[in-house]
Amino acid sequence: MRASAEELHVPVGDRVGRVSALLVRPPDARVLYVLAHGAGAGMRHQFLESVARGLAERRIATLRYQFPYMEARARRPDPPTVAVTTVRAAVQEAAGLAPGMPLVAGGKSFGGRMTSSAQAKEPLPGVRGLVFLGFPLHAPGHPGDARAKHLSQVEVPMLFLQGTRDEFADLSLLRPLITGLGERATLHLVEGADHSFHVLKRSGRTDAEVLDELAQAVENWTGALIG
């Protein structure tokens, strides 16, 4: 039976109010992934819906949530301080929704980076590891690794799911960065995928196959993480 999405609200604070969230929790869930959206699309984007569905089939629950700017239908992402506060509020909400269940956190692009920023600033309570769906190491055409400097302060295990055609992450920069993080960091490369995890027809693969690969990689990694 496919797990349905439960619509919720996450209280963020007096200055922000609350933001919308979606909980997908299969009855046999063994871990809960607090999953943030990317900069250009909210929690209901088809990619995140597909990811949540694929993870639910592998006994991984997800809590997706909106950043305040997306909730307000604004174009410009929130300042980091607001985004980090929202991440922390979503993690707190997840812990209350599933007491005792192991938590991982992260998300797509911007959402993943804001989650790691929150973790680097102050460990997120109960979070055992971070999962990045396309870490945005730099802007397209402007290679650099300044956005990742804070990762050295993250002490929990990290899984980087990255497409080999991702213009936001030059592999000649990403690979040594992850090597430098040591055993905390795992890189899973998705052959032929871009930043949206889309593959070209000539690759011989489909986007559905890529989504299945992502879900399987998360299942394997979280399984090893929580035992």
The model's pLDDT over 21-78, given as tens digits with 9 standing for 90+, comes to 999 999 999 999 999 999 999 999 999 999 999 999 999 999 999 999 999 999 899 9
Question: 85-115, pLDDT tens digit by residue?
Answer: 999 999 999 999 999 999 999 999 999 999 9
State the CATH architecture for 5-226. 3-Layer(aba) Sandwich (3.40)
Q: Are strands 127-133 and 158-163 parallel, antiparallel or unpaired?
A: parallel
Please count the residues of the chain.
227
Token code pair at residue 60: 């991984």
Task: Look at the block and give the residue holding tokens 């299942």.
Answer: 219
**Does 143 score more than 60 pLDDT?**
yes
**Does 1 score more than 70 pLDDT?**
no
Average confidence score pLDDT of the chain? 96
Binning pLDDT at 50, 70 and 90, where does residue 13 land? confident
**Does 179 score more than 80 pLDDT?**
yes
Query: Could you count the other beta carbons within 10 Å of the beta carbon of residue 181?
Result: 18
As a whole number of angstroms, the distance between CA 199 and CA 219 comes to: 22
As a whole number of angstroms, the distance between CA 23 and CA 84 comes to: 20
Comparing CA positions, the residue from 75, 120, 66, 132 lying closest to residue 93 is 66
Question: 200-225, pLDDT tens digit by residue?
Answer: 988 889 999 999 999 999 999 999 99
Comparing CA positions, the residue from 108, 66, 114 lying closest to residue 193 is 108
Complete edge-to-edge strand list for the sheet that includes strand 60-65 = 5-13, 17-24, 60-65, 31-36, 103-108, 127-133, 158-163, 185-190
Question: 15-25, pLDDT tens digit by residue?
Answer: 889 999 999 99
Domain boundaries, the chain: 5-226
**Three-class DSSP category at 25:** coil
Q: Could you give the count of Cα atoms lying within 13 Å of 88 in the half-sphere of its Cβ? A: 17
DSSP 58: T
As a whole number of angstroms, the distance between CA 164 and CA 188 comes to: 10
Binning pLDDT at 50, 70 and 90, where does residue 227 land? confident
Beta partners for residue 181, in sequence order: none
Comparing CA positions, the residue from 137, 132, 139 lying closest to residue 187 is 132
Cα separation of the two ends of the chain:
25
**Does 195 score more than 70 pLDDT?**
yes
Distances (CA, A) of 114 to 9, 118, 175, 196: 20, 6, 21, 18
- Model confidence, pTM: 0.96
Angle at 165 between CA 203 and CA 127, to 5 degrees: 115
